[in-house]
Amino acid sequence: MFPLSHMLKSFVKVGTLKVIDAEGRTHVFGGRAAGPDVTMRLTDPTLYRSLFLNPELAAGEAYMDGRMSFENSTLRDFLTLFSKNRLSLGSYPLQKVLRAASRGVKRFQQANPVGRAQKNVAHHYDIGNDFYRLFLDRGMQYSCAYFTSDDDTLEQAQQNKLRLIASKLDLKPGQKVLDIGCGWGDMALYLGRMAEGVQVVGVTLSREQCKLANEKAKALGLADRVRFELRDYRELTERFDRIVSVGMFEHVGVAHYGEYFAKVNELLTDDGVMLLHSIGHMSPPGTASPWMRKYIFPGAYSPALSEVFPAVEQNSLWVTDCEFLRVHYAKTLAHWEQRFQANRAKVAEMYDERFCRMWEFYLISAEMMFRTGSQLVFHMQLSKKRDAVPIVRDYITDTQREYIARERERGIGD
């Protein structure tokens, strides 16, 4: 177990980790502070080295392959313990060196030029709409919901999110709207149903999403006003009064931020407004999880705000409003994981046990990033003019009230 045991002694400051090694020996690593009590069994002695050298990647792979399991505890217990001790792991000398090396090549890890971006998106989003239906809300929104109450259902919280974002766009009748990274279309369809005479274009790099979004528009009788295209946003040339982007910026990559905001500036009308909804983090610039990057979101990265603002400033855009959703994504992910577990047998039939373990690891570890880690979601409102929206935020609350009334009139969200 050495040198893994040496690192684990430094790692576990909160809670207790018992490791049963491949020879059946038990090693106990206990922190001074109370926390989760986890018993981990390792069945492969090669894990001692791989966990020491790259713990995040190796732990995820070992759980997927069944070489790591838990007794009298769960994967959630382990990932909670891991998250609570994340900083002490990062301060271990070898991990400091490896993380510094990773930061040095992160621009290559996050390269998303036209072409490769579509391949990276397809890796995650084109694995089948039927799978995503098993754990997302009815509208298949795959981004952070907005909980106005702990009693909100996932459907209610996702409706709250649509309403909040739409209110921040300050839509006017007849405006042209672009949805960058439109997913399965619910944001664009909501805007098309709530604002009179608006024309909405949604673009995505996912074939599965584009096909279903257009089917939904047709079913709702909105195909003449809301359309979806399989297209990279960088290929667009027309201008829009409003731009919205939800959960897409994480796939841009730091090296492309200047390109992204330059294109936003180009696509916005002179008095246009954009609302960017993205995952970020409150800590200094870092790198994406190696396991997440390899198995879940290739090319993706959630930025520090200090990496976003310079690119906005360099492209002459006003940040007219900014809001932070700190715990809402943890709640969202908890709902997704509960629904995933309720349908786990169906997932295993569609794919296999290893796939199920991969998604369990993903959903719970992502939840921990928002519950005890440094992740958050930010709303950044952008414009070319300082007075493109009212200078007092009351209009956001007032518009939400108006939209609630319209939702009731039009049976939206029922």
Looking at the predicted structure, is the pLDDT value of residue 104 above 90? Answer: no
Phi and psi torsions of 315, nearest 5°? -115, 25
| Predicted confidence band of residue 115 (pLDDT cuts 50, 70, 90) | low
Q: Could you report the per-residue pLDDT of 310-355, keeping only the tens digit for each?
A: 999 999 999 999 999 999 999 999 999 999 999 999 999 999 999 9
Query: What is the mean predicted confidence (pLDDT) over 352-367?
Result: 97
Q: Could you report the per-residue pLDDT of 194-220, keeping only the tens digit for each?
A: 989 999 999 999 999 999 999 999 999
Q: Which residue has the tokens 């209610």?
A: 156
| Predicted confidence band of residue 360 (pLDDT cuts 50, 70, 90) | very high
pLDDT of amino acid 95: 61
Distance CA 204, CA 182 (A): 6
